[in-house]
Amino acid sequence: MTIEDIQKLIKNGETRTLELKKTTGELQDGMHSACAMLNSDGGVLVFGITPKSHKIIGQHVTDNTRQEIANAIAHFEPAIEIVPEYIDVSEYEGNQLVVMQFAPWKWGNIVYSYRGCPYYKSESTTKIMPREMFDERNKASKPQEYEWDIKPAYEIEIGDLNEERVRAAVRLGVRGNRLHASADGDSMNVLLQKLNLLTKDGKPTNAAAMLFATRPNRYPQFLLRMCRFRGKTKEVFVDPQEVYGNFFDILDAGISFCFKHLFLTGEIKGLRRIETLEIPLEALREALINALCHRDYEQIYASASLAIFDDRIEISNPGRLPIELTPETILLPHSSYPHNPLIAQVLYLTSYLDKWGSGVERIVQLCKEANIPMPAYSVANRLVTLTFYRLALSDDVTKNDTKNDTKNDTKSKRTIRQQEIIKLVAENPTISIATLALRLKVSKPTIKREMFSLSDVLEHIGPTNGGYWRIRE
Residues 89-132 pLDDT 10s: 988 989 999 999 999 998 778 899 999 999 999 888 999 999 88
Whether 89 contacts 46, CB under 8 Å? no
The pLDDT of residue 452 is 80
- Answer with the residue of higher pLDDT: 207 or 402: 207
Min mean pLDDT across 154-168, 262-276, 313-327 is at 262-276
The pLDDT of residue 420 is 85
The pLDDT of residue 369 is above 60 = yes
The pLDDT of residue 270 is 59
- Distance of alpha carbon 311 from the chain centroid: 25
Mean pLDDT of the chain: 86
- Answer with the residue of higher pLDDT: 143 or 387: 387
Q: How confident is the model at residue 402 (pLDDT cuts 50, 70, 90)?
A: very low
Percent of the chain with pLDDT over 70: 90
The pLDDT of residue 412 is above 60 = no
The pLDDT of residue 407 is above 60 = no
Q: How confident is the model at residue 333 (pLDDT cuts 50, 70, 90)?
A: confident
Q: Which CATH number fits domain 3-141: 1.10.1040.10, 3.40.50.80, 3.30.460.80, 3.30.950.30?
A: 3.30.950.30
Q: Where are the domains of the chain?
A: 3-141, 147-212, 223-413
The predicted model gives 54-70 an average pLDDT of 94
Q: How confident is the model at residue 45 (pLDDT cuts 50, 70, 90)?
A: very high
Tell me, yes or no, if the pTM score tops 0.95.
Answer: no
The pLDDT of residue 406 is 45
The pLDDT of residue 380 is above 50 = yes
Whether residue 143 is preceded by a cis peptide bond, meaning omega within 30 degrees of 0, is no
Q: How confident is the model at residue 398 (pLDDT cuts 50, 70, 90)?
A: very low
The pLDDT of residue 337 is 74
C-alpha 282/C-alpha 171 separation (Å) is 20
Q: What are phi and psi for residue 312, nearest 5 degrees?
A: -165, 170
The pLDDT of residue 193 is 93
Largest CA distance in the chain: 93
The pLDDT of residue 265 is 66
Whether 362 contacts 356, CB under 8 Å? no
Whether 146 contacts 109, CB under 8 Å? no
The pLDDT of residue 403 is above 60 = no
SS (H, E, C) the chain: CCHHHHHHHCCCCCECCEEEECCHHHHHHHHHHHHHHHCCCCEEEEECECCCCCCECCEECCHHHHHHHHHHHCCEECCCCCCCEEEECCCCCCEEEEEEEECCCCCCCCCCEECCECEEEECCEEEECCHHHHHHHHHHHCHHHHCHHHCECCCCCHHHECHHHHHHHHHHHHHCCCCCHHHHHCCHHHHHHHCCCECCCCCEEHHHHHHHECCCCCCCCCEEEEEEEECCCCCEECCCEEEECCHHHHHHHHHHHHHHHCCEEEEEECCEEEEEECCCHHHHHHHHHHHHHHCCCCCCCCCEEEEECCCEEEEEEECCCCCCCCCCHHHCCCCCCCCCHHHHHHHHHCCCCCCCCCHHHHHHHHHHHCCCCCCEEEEECCEEEEEEECCCCHHHHHHHHHHHHHHHHHHCCCCHHHHHHHHHHHHCCCCCHHHHHHHHCCCHHHHHHHHHHCCCCEEEECCCCCCEEEECC
C-alpha 158/C-alpha 340 separation (Å) is 21
Quick: pLDDT tens for 414-460.
Answer: 787 888 888 888 877 778 888 888 788 788 888 888 888 888 888 88
For strands 312-318 and 376-380, give the pairing: unpaired
Quick: pLDDT tens for 233-244.
Answer: 999 988 999 999
CA dihedral of residues 13, 14, 19, 24 (deg, nearest 10): 50
Which CB contacts under 8 angstroms, 24+ apart, belong to 89-95?
89/3, 89/48, 89/56, 89/57, 89/58, 90/3, 91/56, 92/57, 92/58, 94/60, 95/48, 95/57, 95/58, 95/59, 95/60, 95/61
C-alpha 59/C-alpha 395 separation (Å) is 73
C-alpha 414/C-alpha 232 separation (Å) is 34
Q: How confident is the model at residue 384 (pLDDT cuts 50, 70, 90)?
A: very high
- What is the CATH code for 223-413? 3.30.565.60
The pLDDT of residue 396 is 47
C-alpha 366/C-alpha 5 separation (Å) is 44
C-alpha 459/C-alpha 472 separation (Å) is 7
Quick: pLDDT tens for 260-309.
Answer: 899 876 666 655 656 678 999 999 999 999 999 999 998 888 999 999 99
Whether 2 contacts 88, CB under 8 Å? no
Paired residues of 76 in beta bridges: 114
- Answer with the residue of higher pLDDT: 425 or 355: 425
